[in-house]
Amino acid sequence: MRVRGALAALLLTTAAPGASQQRPNIVVLVADDWGFTDVGAFGGEIATPNIDALAAAGVRFSNFHVAGSCAPTRAMLQTGVSSHRAGLGNMPETIPPAHRGKPGYETVLSNRVATLAERLRAAGYRTYLTGKWHLGHTPDTLPTGRGYDRAFALSQSGADNFENKPNLLLYGKADWTEDGKPAQLPRDFYSSRFIVDRMIAYLDGGDRAKPFFASVNFLANHIPLQAPDADIARYRGRYDAGWTALRAARRDGAIARGVMPAGMAMVTMASTPDWAGQFPAEQAQRRGAMEAYAGMATAMDREVGRLVAHLKATDRYDNSVFVFLSDNGAEATDPMASPVPRANAIFNYDQRTMQQGRPGSLTAIGAGFASAASAPLRGYKFTASEGGLRVPMIIAWPGNPAIARGAVAGGFAHVVDVAPTLLQFAGAAPAAAMTGHSLAPMLGGGSMGVRGADEALGYELSGNAVLWKGNLKLVKNLPPYGDGHWHLFDIIADPGETNDLASARPATFKAMKADYRNWAAAEKVLPMPAGYSAPQQIMDNAMDDLLWPRLRPVLGWAAALLGLVAGALLWRRARR
């Protein structure tokens, strides 16, 4: 504890309140749908040299958790409170109609809680955001309504990466805005490049006498997977062996990099098909999708490097705190697996196998390669298993000697901890409602966390639920991701969630279920409707919000035409 206290004290003296020239700049880099081992420094094969350089200059968090999907994570990142308190108990895309508008289920960032940007701006920071927001679409709920001085934002979960076009499976238009007003994209638009271009313009156009907070939110690697040709080409043939071989290689890489324990067990998920049993055409499609996925990640990493290089060139690198994380695990949903989305994609996109990742295309890696991206963990996006919630996270502060360069912090950490950490670095008081803890004591590396062994932390999204306490994790996943029952795992000894301890530790199992009920009652968590399924709800909501509005005028004209035909037939019959 003395070491932790000394480290925290050294960090604070470097960012003393009132000494604006010493307070660090803050750069938060959010990747979309990256699995635990998609970063090279966490054991993966994808080329991410610039993110790896941040890892070498800082600390990798190997036991860091977020929500199972994007908007709830972003709400917690922005506020330091649970997603329910922040208004994102569920997302617009996955919320059942019965929950809409209920307390905690507003599906936009609530004005009941303060944002990190609001707190930092009050402390004298310039505040900027570029890229994905997904926390509201009206002027008061867009970034400039929640504490950002400038923002070029996408209010939706994703969009096309090469043109001003929505994800046509979910939305009628791409809702890009700048400073709260509808915005146009440049003709040479590519999402990762543009998001960094715009952030650099904001940084260079602001008051250099003040420190800045830059929130950089990439669309990579959300569906649709798209990348420049050269980035896709570098991975040609890399994934010919399939997802099972890649999952095993990623486990070995994670162990070698020190972010997973040696000899850890790993499951083969029921949703993972047999690679050898796939038809050659299916294999070609899937490995092409994974090549596009890897190329998209490398393209994003290059833009991270360009931003870092600009900060170095303008003498703002050393005194900048960098936070890198993914908003959830890898995406396993395959739009091509359902008839209506498949028909929509075939009609609106170039679906030829050789075109995957190129402009005009739409593709996804599916459950097989998602299991490899989240290796060596169980589950992926939307689930409450570790593969959905445990993601790569890095904190680097290059000019601060108190940071253990290249270290791994293995203690439990959560996304609600990021906001109080950054406010501490900025010398600003955290908001009273924040439930997270500062991670400063963990920046020396090692296995210590910032919570006591008896402190419980709950989580719920779409009926998938967790209670963490010490090394233990109580978890329940609804179908199709699980059996709807509670299970108990030691996620330090068994991060792959292979050994259910519920029967071996019945008293602990019972006590943790009671802890979860208490947490859920305090957070006003609503039970899910009978038969609820997140993937099905996405399709249902998309039908209601996108397809039916298009069909209603057609159906109206069709009904009118049928009426005229029926009337004519009746008239003829009456005359006879």
The catalytic residues are 70, 134
Residues 88, 71: Cα–Cα separation, whole Å: 7
Residues 249, 293: Cα–Cα separation, whole Å: 17
Structure tokens at 257: 């990099």
Q: How many CB atoms lie within 10 A of CB 216?
A: 23
| CB-side neighbour CA atoms (13 Å) of 338 | 15
For residue 90, what are the contacts with CB-CB under 8 A and spacing of at least 6? 72, 96, 99, 105, 107, 461, 462
User: Parallel, antiparallel, or unpaired for β 413-414 and 126-132?
Assistant: unpaired
Cα-Cα-Cα-Cα dihedral sign, residues 520, 525, 529, 534: negative
**Angle (nearest 5°) at CA 419 between 418 and 421:** 65
The DSSP letter of residue 545 is I
Transcribe 441-472 into DSSP letters.
GGTT-BS--SS-TT-EEEEEETTEEEEEETTE
Instruction: Check whether the bond before 221 is cis (ω within 30° of 0).
Output: yes
Compute φ and ψ for 456, nearest 5 degrees: -100, 145
The DSSP letter of residue 416 is G
**Angle (nearest 5°) at CA 305 between 194 and 401:** 135
